[in-house]
Amino acid sequence: MAELQTLAGKLKCSLLHRGTLPLAILILVFFCYGFLSSSRQTLGDLEAEPSVAVGKLDRWQVVTLSRMVYPQPKVLSPVRKDVLVVTPWLAPIVWEGTFNIDILNEQFRLQNTTIGLTVFAIKKYVVFLKLFLETAEQHFMVGHQVTYYVFTDRPADVPQVPLGAGRRLVVLTVHSHTRWQDVSMHRMDMISRFSEQRFLREVDYLVCTDVDMKFRDHVGVEILASLFGTLHPSFYQSSREAFTYERRPQSQAYIARGEGDFYYLGGFFGGSVAEVLRLTKACHEAMVADKANGIEAVWHDESHLNKYLLYHKPTKVLSPEYLWDQQLLGWPAVMKKLRFVAVPKNHQAIRNP
């Protein structure tokens, strides 16, 4: 460009002396056209070279968007008037009727989302795996890529369940513990370790659940968020004074009276792998600190989960539709659907080795 300016200056001075300004303009226009054409050709050559940026654009360009036809949302007509649908920190609370799954499915498919589902089948709890996996194939993240991560001390007893396209099962062998409380608390450590070792590379989101359950209705991408917790079915109507938080200041799970948003259950939480890693690591470290001080939180890992979610607000909250016990709680009218439900069982018999 400097050479172009110098040459243009020389031509201008020379031609002005000879009174041939129109000719000078014509020459400059011709010269600039040639220069710009050459520049465009060079840029075109560069664009023809493969690059990461272009590769990413190409990946999005091949997506064919279908026409989306659905009822228009009405600003002055809330879809649910009987329940709270947003928290004070503006996180949605997911109830039936508050979302359009077709819109959500389209958005998450555009992102090529992969979901990991962690479940612990320790000791005799392995007997629940078959029903858990069979019903998950019917109702959990249908149409999306799913990896089932089964933590167990009895890998030979993991049942062979037919899986749909884009879905796989990974068995992760772990040690058992004598007390069921230790088994429960050990989950946070295992999820944390495997998140660092492999989950970060393999999936986008993690959903962490109990195994002694079955999927009864749709559970899909409407639950996915950076960090989500689920309202405990026994406390979703209760005041915070009735919540069974850890009330002893000596515990890392301590929550003072007068504090608290909701009571979250330990059997259904998740989020992005990075956020689940932070949560599980923090809860495990808090339990280690409690053990060193000779104290155990009243509801074990669930107590520590509630403490974490109090100070690290979830970006989405799931209603009790997403974990319910119909045998104990019936089916109240506010529950339009029961999605993930407890399986009747004899806990004492199962918890024995």
Q: pLDDT tens across 18-41, in order?
A: 444 444 444 444 444 444 444 443
- Which one has a higher pLDDT value, 14 or 173? 173
Instruction: Taking the CA atoms of 132, 134, 135 and 139 in sequence, report the sign of the dihedral they define.
Output: positive
Nearest-5° angle of CA 175, CA 211, CA 111? 100
The two three-digit tokens of residue 28, written as one number = 């400059």
Distance CA 267, CA 247 (A): 21
Q: What is the mean pLDDT of residues 112-130?
A: 96
Of the listed ranges 131-135, 297-301, 349-353, the least confidently predicted one is 349-353
What distances in angstroms separate CA 247 from CA 183, 299, 301, 313, one per listed residue?
23, 11, 15, 20
Distance CA 284, CA 188 (A): 6
| Structural fold of domain 93-351 | Spore Coat Polysaccharide Biosynthesis Protein SpsA; Chain A (3.90.550)
Q: How much is the pLDDT for 44?
A: 37
pLDDT of 292 higher than 80: yes
pLDDT of 53 higher than 80: no
User: DSSP alpha helices (H): ranges in 18-100?
Assistant: 21-48, 52-61
Residues recognised as catalytic? 302
- Could you tell me which of 309, 213, 194 has the C-alpha nearest to residue 261? 309
- Could you tell me which of 214, 210, 222 has the C-alpha nearest to residue 115? 222
Q: By the 8 A CB rule, do 233 and 338 touch?
A: no
Q: pLDDT tens across 252-286, in order?
A: 999 999 999 999 999 999 999 999 999 999 999 99
Q: By the 8 A CB rule, do 83 and 96 touch?
A: no
Q: By the 8 A CB rule, do 230 and 219 touch?
A: no
Distance CA 255, CA 249 (A): 8
The pTM of the full predicted model, rounded to 2 decimals, is 0.80
pLDDT of 349 higher than 70: no
